[in-house]
A and B are shown apart, each in its own frame.
Chain A
C-alpha cells in the first residue's frame, strides 16, 4: 500500500480522535443554558462591552446629551409654569385686558369700571373680578431696592389668591399694611420673614403671610395684597384695574360670551385662559429670546450627543467589520447585520438614558428650592427616552452605511 493510501486507510481514526469523554446522549442539558439567549442582542451587547473605554465614551456622550437636554427642557418647562402659573391658578374663564397687554406682569393701560359693568350685564357672565397687577419698587429695610410684582386681589371674590401658604392666612393679609411674600425670595427682598417690614413705592408694608412655591420668571417676586391696598400702593386712581377675570354661569359657552364681550368692549381685549397663557409665554420666552436660548441649548445637546454616539458606533463597527463580513459569508442578510448595529445603538440608548436621567433627576432635586427650579414630567421623561433612541438610531446610520458596503470576500484575506 502506498503511503498515500496508507494515510487514507490508516489515516487518523476520526471517530476516536474526537471522541468526547463528556458526551452523553443528553446533549440537551447543556444546551438549556442558552435557550432564551437572543443572539443578535448577545452579539450587540458583547461588541458594545468588549471595548470598555469606547463604551465609556459613548455613554458619556449620551449622558452629556441627556443631561443637557433635560436641563434645558426642564428649565423651559419650569419657566413656562412660572410664566403661566398665575393665569392657570385663576378661577376665571375669560380675561379682560387692556388692548395689547403683553403678559400677566405687563398688563398695560388700566381698565375702568365701565368695562366691568358692561361685562357684568352680558348674558352668561356670573361675575367680573378686578385684579391689579404691576411692577413696583420694593425698598429694603436695610437699604437698597428691588423690583416686585404686586398682585392686588380680594379673597372674597375668589379670583386669584396666593397658594401654598405656609405661615399666616388670607385673613392676616387683610390687616393694615399686610402683604404675603414667598419664602424663596426673602433674601432678595432683604427681609427675615413673618413680621418684617419694607416699603413698596411710598407705602409701608409688613409680611403677614408666607407662601412656598410662587416663583416669578422675571425674578421680581410676587407680593399679594388686597385689591384696594394694591391700588393705594401703586397710586391707581379710583376703581381702575389691570385685568378683569370673568366667571361664567354654569353651562354658558366660553366662545359665545367671549364674542359678545369683544363686541361690547372696544378698548379692551378678551382672552381665554389659554390665549392669555400663550401670549404671556410668547412675550417672555420668545420676544426676550430666553426660550430660544433654552431650546437652542436642547438642540445643541442633541446634536453633540448624536455626533459622539455616531462616531463611537462607527468606530465600533469598523473594528468588527471582519466579524460582520463573516456573518455575511455565513449567509446572513444585510438586515440581520443592521439589526446587530441597531441593537448596539439601542443598548447604548437604554444604558445612556438611565445614567443621564439619574444625573438629570439629581440636578432637578438640587434645583428644587432655587428661584428657577427645573421641571420633569412623565411626558418629558418619555420624550427624552424617545429622543435618545432616535439619536442613537440616527447615529447608527453611518455604521449601517459602512457595513452595507462590506465585501464578504475579505474573510478570505485575513
Chain B
C-alpha cells in the first residue's frame, strides 16, 4: 500500500439520479482515495456507476451524500463557480470522444485549457507546445482535429489535460475509441504521466487491454466497489493471477 498522502478522497459517496418513481441510486456508499504516482483503473459493466463516480470525483456532479476532498478542500456545499475553480486547480480531464474544439488546431486546443486558467501569452504558448511534444505531436501543432487520427486526437486531449500540471487526471474510457495500437500508446502515456510526473491518474475503462498498465484496479458493480486489486510487490498475488486467467480466457 502506498504511504503517500492522498490528493483526492471520496468517503461513503451516495448519488441518486432522477426523481420520484424513476429515481435510481447510481452510487451506494463508495469510498476511495487517489495518491500521486499511481495509475488506477475503475472497471465495471455498463450502468455500474463508473462515469457517475468519475463525474463526482471531478466536481462535475455533486453527491447526494458523502464527502469529497480534493487537496484537503471539502466540496460539500460549494457553489458551481467554486467547484469550477477546484477543477481548474486540481483536475485534468480526458474524455472518451476527446472533446476537442474542432475549430482550433492542436496547439490552440491545449492553449485554451491554459487560457481558462489565466495562463496567457508566450509562456502559455510555449507550455502548450512543450506538452504536445511530450505526447509526440510536435510535428502536428497546427493540425486541426479533423486532420488528426483518433490516437493523435486522444494524445492532444491528454496534452490538454496535463498542460496545467494538475494533481489529478481523470480519464473516461480513454481507449474506447482507439484501435489496439493507439489504445496501448495512450495507456502507456497515462502510466508515464502517473509515474514520471507523480500525478494521480484514474481511468474509467472496461477495456482489458488497459490492465497491464495499472497500479491498481477498482471494480465497481451496481454502484458499489466490489473488489480492489493492487499491483503487488511480488508477482504471486492470487487475485492478480485470477484476473489474468480471466483475461486470457476472455481473449480466447
Binding site for B on A (CB under 8 A): 1-8, 11-15, 17-23, 27-28, 30-40, 42-43, 46-47, 50, 322-323, 326-334, 336, 408-409, 411-412, 414
B108–A42 CB distance below 8 A: yes
Alpha-carbon distance between A352 and B135 when the two chains are bound, in angstroms:
42
Chain A's closest residue to B137 (CB) is A20
Listed from nearest, the 6 A-B pairs whose CB atoms lie closest are A7-B212, A331-B88, A18-B136, A46-B103, A331-B87, A14-B192
Contacts beyond the supplied A11-B187, A20-B136, A31-B107: 18 A-B pairs with Cβ under 8 Å: A2-B240, A5-B240, A7-B213, A8-B213, A11-B213, A14-B189, A17-B189, A20-B139, A33-B125, A33-B141, A33-B142, A39-B115, A39-B120, A42-B108, A323-B99, A408-B60, A412-B172, A414-B96
Chain B's closest residue to A13 (CB) is B188
For A322, what are the chain B residues with a Cβ–Cβ distance below 8 Å? Answer: 99
Minimal beta-carbon separation of A71 from chain B (angstroms) = 36
Q: Does B116 have its Cβ within 8 Å of any Cβ on chain A?
A: yes
A21–B139 CB distance below 8 A: yes
- Within residues 195 to 252 of chain B, which ones have a CB less than 8 A from any CB in chain A? 211-214, 231, 235, 240-241, 243-244, 247-248
A47–B103 CB distance below 8 A: yes
Q: Does B10 have its Cβ within 8 Å of any Cβ on chain A?
A: no
For B213, what are the chain A residues with a Cβ–Cβ distance below 8 Å? Answer: 7-8, 11
For A43, what are the chain B residues with a Cβ–Cβ distance below 8 Å? Answer: 101, 103-104, 112
A12–B130 CB distance below 8 A: no
Alpha-carbon distance between A6 and B240 when the two chains are bound, in angstroms:
12
Contact of A332 with B137 at beta-carbon distance under 8 Å, contacts A7-B211, A409-B60 already known: no
Binding site for A on B (CB under 8 A): 51, 54-55, 58, 60-61, 80-81, 84-89, 91, 93, 95-97, 99, 101-104, 107-108, 111-113, 115-117, 120-122, 125-130, 133-139, 141-142, 155, 160, 172, 184-185, 187-189, 191-192, 211-214, 231, 235, 240-241, 243-244, 247-248
Q: Which of B99, B214, B243 has the most CB of A within 10 A?
A: B99
B122–A323 CB distance below 8 A: no
Contact of A330 with B191 at beta-carbon distance under 8 Å, contacts A22-B138, A31-B128, A47-B103 already known: no
B107–A34 CB distance below 8 A: yes
Alpha-carbon distance between A42 and B189 when the two chains are bound, in angstroms:
29
B103–A3 CB distance below 8 A: no
Alpha-carbon distance between A318 and B61 when the two chains are bound, in angstroms:
22
For B191, what are the chain A residues with a Cβ–Cβ distance below 8 Å? Answer: 11, 14
B60–A5 CB distance below 8 A: no
Name B138's contact: one of A20, A40, A323, A330 (CB within 8 Å).
A20
A4–B211 CB distance below 8 A: yes
For B99, what are the chain A residues with a Cβ–Cβ distance below 8 Å? Answer: 322-323, 326, 329, 411, 414
For B188, what are the chain A residues with a Cβ–Cβ distance below 8 Å? Answer: 11-14, 17
For B248, what are the chain A residues with a Cβ–Cβ distance below 8 Å? Answer: 3
Alpha-carbon distance between A380 and B55 when the two chains are bound, in angstroms:
53
Contact of A31 with B87 at beta-carbon distance under 8 Å, contacts A2-B240, A21-B139 already known: no
A-B contact pairs, 28 of them (CB 8 A): A1-B235, A3-B212, A5-B231, A11-B184, A12-B184, A12-B188, A13-B188, A22-B133, A23-B133, A27-B126, A27-B133, A27-B138, A28-B129, A34-B107, A34-B125, A36-B121, A37-B125, A40-B115, A42-B104, A50-B103, A323-B102, A330-B88, A330-B160, A331-B86, A333-B81, A409-B61, A412-B51, A414-B96
For A333, what are the chain B residues with a Cβ–Cβ distance below 8 Å? Answer: 81, 84-85
B125–A35 CB distance below 8 A: yes
For A408, what are the chain B residues with a Cβ–Cβ distance below 8 Å? Answer: 60
A23–B138 CB distance below 8 A: yes
Contact of A331 with B60 at beta-carbon distance under 8 Å, contacts A31-B125, A46-B104, A412-B51 already known: no
For B235, what are the chain A residues with a Cβ–Cβ distance below 8 Å? Answer: 1-2, 5
Minimal beta-carbon separation of A11 from chain B (angstroms) = 5
Minimal beta-carbon separation of B60 from chain A (angstroms) = 5
B103–A331 CB distance below 8 A: no
Q: Which of A5, A15, A35, A329 has the most CB of B within 10 A?
A: A329
Q: Which of A15, A31, A40, A328 has the most CB of B within 10 A?
A: A31
A331–B136 CB distance below 8 A: no
Chain B's closest residue to A34 (CB) is B125
Alpha-carbon distance between A72 and B138 when the two chains are bound, in angstroms:
56
Chain B's closest residue to A10 (CB) is B212
A17–B241 CB distance below 8 A: no
A3–B111 CB distance below 8 A: no
Alpha-carbon distance between A344 and B214 when the two chains are bound, in angstroms:
44
Contact of A4 with B108 at beta-carbon distance under 8 Å, contacts A331-B85, A331-B91 already known: no
Alpha-carbon distance between A13 and B144 when the two chains are bound, in angstroms:
27
For A46, what are the chain B residues with a Cβ–Cβ distance below 8 Å? Answer: 101, 103-104
For B126, what are the chain A residues with a Cβ–Cβ distance below 8 Å? Answer: 27-28, 31
Minimal beta-carbon separation of A86 from chain B (angstroms) = 58
Alpha-carbon distance between A19 and B134 when the two chains are bound, in angstroms:
8
Minimal beta-carbon separation of A125 from chain B (angstroms) = 69
For A14, what are the chain B residues with a Cβ–Cβ distance below 8 Å? Answer: 188-189, 191-192
Name A8's contact: one of B84, B111, B231 (CB within 8 Å).
B231
Alpha-carbon distance between A50 and B248 when the two chains are bound, in angstroms:
48
B122–A32 CB distance below 8 A: yes
A31–B122 CB distance below 8 A: yes
